[in-house]
Structure 1
Amino acid sequence: MNLLHGKDFRPPWPLTSGHIQTMLSSSGVRRMLLPRAATAVQRGAEAVVVDGGGGVRLSGAYTAQQIRPQPRGLAVLFHGWEGSVDSTYVLQTGSRLLADGWDIFRLNFRDHGDSHGLNEALFHSCRIDEVVHALGDIAQRWPARPIALAGFSLGGNFALRAAMQTSRVGIPLSYVLAVCPIIDPGEGLFSLEETAPWFYQAYFMRKWRHSLQAKQKAFPQHQYFEMSELNQHLRGLTEAMVLRHTDFQSLQQYLDGYSVAGDIMQSLQIPATILTARDDPVIPVSSFEKLELPPNVELDIASYGGHCGFIRDWGMTSYTDDYIATRFNAVADAGAASG
């Protein structure tokens, strides 16, 4: 099977603009234009709650494939910050893999989707232990093998960190693929504030404040933030969240807590692929170029694609769907041949 590569993605103008790719990736226009097949993973999906350990509950959706006697395996998908199991890119990828005979599990992180009422404590990006525990619960409850994991943006960061722990805790994860993952959170925060156009920070802040309001409504007895804190920009509100709701002593300590920069991924033992775009306006490509990776981790930097876009044409489908599917299928085929 021929694998796709980032260099092969060459969209027509004006989709060669990283800003246009990024803005279209989560736009309502794109969702309206997508073919019905791109939402197939929602049909017949079972809404479930999985165990995050220590009383934590995380929501998700499981869809069983119907086209093969046995599934190729179990594909687990992680959304990005303030996304959900129903984000466009998650639905597209899940539907593409479902059509290839994979069972699909889409996981919501804490306080994402409609899950604000499941846990009283707030989501933050260092809550990796509950995600790893949830992966263990998923692997036990849905036994299709191999298990392959894909994540987008912050979900890509979570996927890479989870993959570094699965071998240690006995979760049989075979492969991980991260699309435009956050590498150095401090550098990414600086980029959103100082380098990226203002509307990216405005977009994320609007979604985050909406999420925090939903959390407050779910637990009215708990005051999560003062109004003066909610009115701050990204850095100020993030620092307030860290000091109020985590054990970290500073914003920088928190940001370092979920970094995968430098040589951190040397401990990653399973095969992995990182796909990003040189024109990503949200996460600087320099973060990827400075990585020190082991031989089992493939770094693929495309010239185009923006942040989690990779939109082929005005049909609004994404190159990442086939990119992920060819790699997942290769993992399944290799496992079948060796078994």
Structure 2
Amino acid sequence: MRRYMAAVVVLLSACAAHAESPSGTERTTLIASVIDQLQASYIDVEQANKLAPILRHADFSQAVDDEAFAGAVTALMQGVTKDQHLRLLYRAKQFQSRGSGVPASTEIVEWQAGWKRDNYGIERVERLPGNIGYFKINYFWDAAGAAPSIAAAMTLLAYTDALIIDLRDNGGGDADEVPLIASYLFDERTHLSDFYRREGNITEQQWTYPAVAGIRYGKAKDVYVLTSKETFSAGEGLAYALKNLKRATIVGETTRGGAHPSRMRRLNDHYEMMVPASTVRDHVTGKDWEGVGVLPDVSVPAEEALTMAQVMILKKRLVDKPNAENRDEIRKRLAALGPGR
């Protein structure tokens, strides 16, 4: 499963705490492991080769403990590559799957319980005045587990006249949730993007689903996606695909710019590395948003994006349906959203 890994890295390192400084030998071994992972899997081979000697000769003596050391290595790697997904992470609590490189089943159960408590990142689903649907989701994680909640949310919103998807606080997560959500917004199978994975030299296409649970929203009604400078990774992926397919209007701020799906690699009992091993190419543009972010169609401060989207929807309704019976209600709602609306 492709992972962007940005939103819930806190779940993987929640037990992080300061510890005694590791020895020089331990750090040398860790750096060698980091370099091995870069050269084996990192999507940008040129940058991986560039980083290797820099890491070997870097002075990390000012890092007073393990957590600081991980932060210093991360800062160096990101400083060279500008890749916000590339990270070394430290966890004080020993991993349950010692040295295996993959999470233990008990760890996965713990994570799944946390995702369920958070309702898989879904914060709000409601019908705003004017029959406008509002769907706020703060991370994407475990698409299979999230599917029933997504279906319930989209079914609740199915009969609204327009839809706002709020990704302003979305830090990414599971790339497989992008086609899951997008599938509700189209009437037919639609090619979203292509994933190129360096390992194995493999390209995988990402399409919407031929069928969805619950009620499909369809392609006829307007969709607006809210973004901020904090929107990242898979959250950006959804906004980017919908924008380029002209299925949604993006309202808000330019996003952070992280387009490299990543995998977690455990280096020892306390350290793991986030390795961007893939890149995404939009089906329409052939490009990605790495380092540049997703540019909004309507640029406004993030805190004003929800109001702006509602105003755009309501004003469009007055133009499209000048004789609508509820036009007075629409005007009242516009006035309530702020002076001059």
Looking at CA atoms only, which structure, 1 or 2, has the larger radius of gyration? 2
TM superposition score normalised by structure 1: 0.31
Choose between structure 1 and 2 for higher RCO, CA contacts under 8 A separated by at least 6 residues.
1
TM superposition score normalised by structure 2: 0.31
